[in-house]
Amino acid sequence: MTADVGERARLLRAYDEQLRTDAETPSAIAVERLGPLRLVTFAGGRGFVTYRDLGGADAASVADLVAGAVAHYRAMPEISRFEWKTRGHDAAPGLHEALVANGLQADEPESIMIGEAAALIAEVRLPDGVRVRRVVDEPDVRAMSAMQDAAFGDPVSEHMADAILRRLALDDGMELWVAETADGEIVSAGRLEPVADTDFAGIWGGATLEPWRGKGIYRALTAARARSALERGKTLIHSDSTEFSRPILERSGLVKVSTTRPYLWKR
């Protein structure tokens, strides 16, 4: 979908104003401030650094912020890793250099996609025997998590499944959606995360097993999540998308408004 400069600016402004707040990390167990930074702690020994903007900091100040964030997590023995989430449209002089100098490694960039939830709704013809449904029970959640690990080429992680189940128990609005074959094999999955006190819901964790890609399954999962978002009063959808999902979302009506790139630190 093409969008004019004004529409992109409107969507990006909504993203910055509504999502780059505590709404970005609803499952945080602690949040501390370091200047403009929000230093977030999650269950399972994970940290996360985010911010609305860097307040006009110059390169020297940015380097100080990075060093301060690393020191913060290094002093917390329970933290095994943290992510610093960058955005391509931020004014952040010297940030890449400071992150790398402090031991963080850049991951692959992704596209920040935003659009109207209604634009994602469509009737999609699925392969014979495949159905889309929401899951809540532990066996389904563990099967879903294992499939996502396999789709991303990662070892199956019980820790990740445990974290998803803990999050589900919070009953904070997160929904898990899967596509499964007639014999019960989960072949695609994704989350819907309505963001409280905003117009947004996020679609995350989209993964499809390779033999089942290109058959409309991810598109159907996206449509199901968009319907649910609208039922919850959320009119805008956002997602950080890989190059696998970005073209699908663009064809569905979402707009690339910026990029995001995680930088990762491990103890």
Tens of pLDDT, residues 151-167: 989 999 898 899 899 88
Q: Residue 264: beta bridge partners?
A: 83, 105
- Tell me: do 34 and 103 sit in the same domain: yes
Indicate if 121 and 56 belong to the same structural domain: no
Residue 90 pLDDT level (bands cut at 50, 70, 90): very high
| 156 assigned to some structural domain | yes
179 plus 91 within the same structural domain = no
Q: Which of 32-36, 102-106, 116-120 has the lowest mean pLDDT?
A: 116-120
Q: Is residue 10 part of a domain?
A: no
In this prediction, what percent of the chain has a pLDDT beyond 90?
A: 81
pLDDT for position 14 = 96
Residue 50 dihedral angles phi and psi, to the nearest 5°: -150, 175
Contact 115, 255 (CB under 8 A): yes
Parent domain of 198 = 115-259
* For residue 44, pLDDT beyond 70: yes
Range with the poorest average pLDDT among 145-149, 181-185, 200-204, 247-251: 247-251
Q: CA triplet 192, 194, 199: central angle to 5 degrees?
A: 130
Residue 227: its pLDDT value, please?
A: 97
Residue at which a domain ends, from 81, 110, 139: 110
Residues 251 and 189 in one domain: yes
Q: Looking at the structure, tell me whether residues 106 and 219 fall in a common domain.
A: no
Biggest alpha carbon distance in the chain? 59
3-state secondary structure of 94: coil
Where do we find the tokens 């979402």?
254
Rounded-to-integer distance, Cα 139 and Cα 154, Å:
20
> What average pLDDT does the segment 242-250 reach?
84
**Residue 2 confidence class, pLDDT cut points 50, 70, 90:** low
What's the CATH number where 253 sits? 3.40.630.30
pLDDT at 249: 84
**Quick check: 43 and 162 in contact, CB under 8 A?**
no
Please tell me the total count of domains within the chain: 2
Tell me what the pLDDT averaged over the chain comes to.
94
Q: Is residue 1 part of a domain?
A: no
Q: What pLDDT was estimated at residue 3? A: 66
Do residue 127 and residue 248 come from a single domain? yes
Residue 11, in any domain of the structure: no
Residues 132 and 255 in one domain: yes
Confidence band for 251, pLDDT divided at 50, 70 and 90: confident
Residues 153 and 99 in one domain: no
Q: Please check whether residue 88 lies inside any domain of the structure.
A: yes
pLDDT band per the 50, 70, 90 thresholds, residue 172: confident
Which of 58, 82, 110 lies at the terminal end of a domain, its last residue? Answer: 110
- Does 151 share its domain with 101? no
Tokens at residue 118, please?
């209604």
Alpha-carbon span 252 to 254, nearest angstrom = 6
Assigned domain for 48 exists? yes
Claim to verify: residue 202 and residue 247 sit in the same structural domain: yes
Q: Does residue 264 belong to any structural domain of this protein?
A: no
Boundary-marking domain end, from 110, 136, 154: 110
Instruction: Please indicate, yes or no, whether residues 127 and 203 belong to a single structural domain of this protein.
Output: yes
At residue 23 the predicted structure's pLDDT band, cuts being 50, 70 and 90, is confident
pLDDT of residue 45: 92
Same domain flag for 132 and 247: yes
- Average pLDDT, integer, range 234-246: 90
